Amino acid sequence: MDGSDCRGYRTTRRNLPSSIAYRPPFTAISRNIGVIDMQTSHTTASAAATTSLARRIVAASWKPVLFAVLMWLSAAAGEIPIPGTPVPITLQTFVVMLAGLMLPWRQAGAAVATYLAAGAVGLPVFAGGASTMALVGPSAGFLIGFLPAAVVTSLLKGKARVDSPKHAALTAARYLSACVAGCIVLDYLLGFIVQSAITGVAMPVVAIASMGFIVGDCIKAVVASLVASGLAKLQ
């Protein structure tokens, strides 16, 4: 091959399109390995993000589910009838108080919402094995009122301080005030309104007939406040 042929070969090679230009084989292999590494890293990061999300969901949901189950168990444990009112005494209010005092307000609301939803779809989770009909009966206002009661109690409880006997006593007192405001005043107000509307009995009469509930729930509020403030020391 003479010199002109060599020059023509070099010119032709330089004029080749970039898509078919000569590339050293090791460069192409290195680029392929880099692409594979990037894909593997992306897959690993996606799997880690999915696992982290699943853990956060489980961590945020197990407590509301637990308290929803406790509400059902407290209703199934038995009831005490009160003369003059079709609404019996159960330990449900006590569990709602604990949910409001021990959970953030979103989780407290989720716990009650889960419990009410279970009854709404027909599960016998309410007092006496009742389900959907309890949400349209004389107890409907008290049951539905559990939801805002738990949320308000959680919002009013404040931050627990148990680093000294004085702060522990103040925390218990604040918890008690939150229980009274949310789980007694608010819940009973809604319960009286709905029961009066359903039964046709005047609200003052309904309130007088429910005095046994109020006394019992005040005792529950004291116990729940002491239990929640005591458990706060263990955290």
Dump pLDDT digits (tens) for 42-51: 667 666 666 6
Residues 131 and 34 in one domain: no
Mean pLDDT of 193-221: 90
Neighbouring-strand partners of residue 80: 89
Are the C-beta atoms of 171 and 161 separated by less than 8 Å?
A: yes
pTM: 0.73
Residues 32 and 74 in one domain: no
Mean pLDDT of all residues belonging to the chain: 82
Residues 84 and 197 in one domain: yes
In a domain, 148, yes or no: yes
Task: Supply the range of the domain harboring residue 223.
Answer: 61-232
Residues 17 and 72 in one domain: no
Residues 172 and 209 in one domain: yes
Residues 65 and 28 in one domain: no
The domain tally of the chain equals 2
Residues 184 and 70 in one domain: yes
Mean pLDDT of 185-208: 93
Residues 8 and 96 in one domain: no
Interatomic CA distance for residues 197 and 208, integer angstroms: 16
pLDDT confidence tier of residue 210, bands split at 50, 70 and 90:
confident
Residues 77 and 112 in one domain: yes
Of 19-23, 86-90, 186-190, 211-215, the one with minimum mean pLDDT is 19-23
Residues 33 and 125 in one domain: no
In a domain, 108, yes or no: yes
Place of tokens 């009838």: 81
In a domain, 136, yes or no: yes
In a domain, 31, yes or no: yes
Mean pLDDT of 160-180: 92
In a domain, 56, yes or no: no
Q: Which residue has the higher pLDDT, 87 or 198?
A: 198
In a domain, 7, yes or no: yes
Q: How far is CA 49 from the centre of its chain?
A: 22
- pLDDT > 70? residue 119: yes
The pLDDT assigned to 78 comes to 63
Residues 70 and 172 in one domain: yes
Dump pLDDT digits (tens) for 33-86: 655 656 666 667 666 666 665 666 665 679 999 999 999 998 887 666 555 555
In a domain, 121, yes or no: yes
CATH code for the domain of 108: 1.10.1760.20
In a domain, 184, yes or no: yes
Contacts of 70 (CB under 8 A, 6+ apart): 95, 98
Give the phi and the psi of residue 120 in degrees, each rounded to 5.
-65, -30
- pLDDT > 50? residue 11: no
Q: Which residue has the higher pLDDT, 101 or 11?
A: 101
Residues 154 and 38 in one domain: no
Tell me whether residue 43 is exposed, middle or buried, using C-beta atoms within 10 angstroms of its C-beta: 0 to 12, 13 to 18, 19 or more. exposed
- pLDDT > 80? residue 178: yes
